[in-house]
Structure 1
């Protein structure tokens, strides 16, 4: 029952991930299921992560979906991204606004908007 509530709470973000994943599949990408999470790679997911996000990234989590540039990138980033899955389960639809807010606060304090973000510090295993 608790897991069902966590999945439901994270579902608005998961839906966004599923929509992006569908576009990825339609553009030559692939999907796999690992540890109860859908992982999309290639196609539009690769374009999004390589070109549309500053600096490019290997993977990105949206609820119970993970977008990756390739299967190898997903293998490398999986443990980190699954910490974000747990964060989405705790924060639900508030996760994305909270994540952006933490990046703004870090930047405002003269720190790195990505690496010093509270959620990233937790996912990297740093003191948060």
Structure 2
């Protein structure tokens, strides 16, 4: 794919998911009042907020915003399948997993969250989470539906 076309599609994806990005930026701004800090991550196509002071730990992606409770997205974590006891898998980096969600948002835009919850929400049975884990393990396969 020509670079100019890829950049054009990426820009369209950023605009397409803007409603969720706005919510993420609002949540990030509120978290900054409680000590979080932010930076723009070109690699992740996202504004990343670290040290977000709420939630059970880990990260949440809203559009092109990643809200993270830790210090760095290079933090290791286990996959959903590993956590559920379905199989042994190597640890992944949380940033790789969340980047897959950013890509999913950029394609699905406002449809992402309804589809995410339709397919089960947070958990091992959700095809979006399995795809994000697959991407974090291999660098490929962030799309939640397999190719025919």
Q: TM-score, normalised by structure 2?
A: 0.68
CA RMSD of aligned residues (A): 1.8
- Which residue does the alignment assign to 1:58? 58
Q: Is the 8 A contact 2:35 2:53 kept in 1?
A: no
Q: Which has the larger radius of gyration?
A: 2
Query: What are the ranges of 5 or more consecutive residues in structure 2 without an aligned counterpart?
Result: 1-7, 76-93, 136-140
- Which residue does the alignment assign to 2:20? 13
What displacement does 1:46 show? 2.6
> How many Å separate the matches in 1 of 2:57 and 2:36?
17
- Which residue does the alignment assign to 2:10? 3
- Answer 1 or 2: which has greater helix percent: 1
Cα gap change, 1:102/1:57 in structure 2, threshold over 3 Å: closer, same or farther?
Answer: farther
Alignment of 1:87-102 (within 5 A): 87-102=104-119
- Which residue does the alignment assign to 1:84? 101
Q: TM-score, normalised by structure 1?
A: 0.78
Q: Is the 8 A contact 1:46 1:70 kept in 2?
A: no
Give secondary structure in 2 for the equivalent of 1:23.
helix
Give secondary structure in 2 for the equivalent of 1:125.
helix
Query: What are the ranges of 5 or more consecutive residues in structure 1 without an aligned counterpart?
Result: 50-55, 105-112
- Which residue does the alignment assign to 2:36? 29
Indicate yes or no: 2:134 matched with 1:125: yes
Aligned length: 110
Give secondary structure in 1 for the equivalent of 2:24.
helix
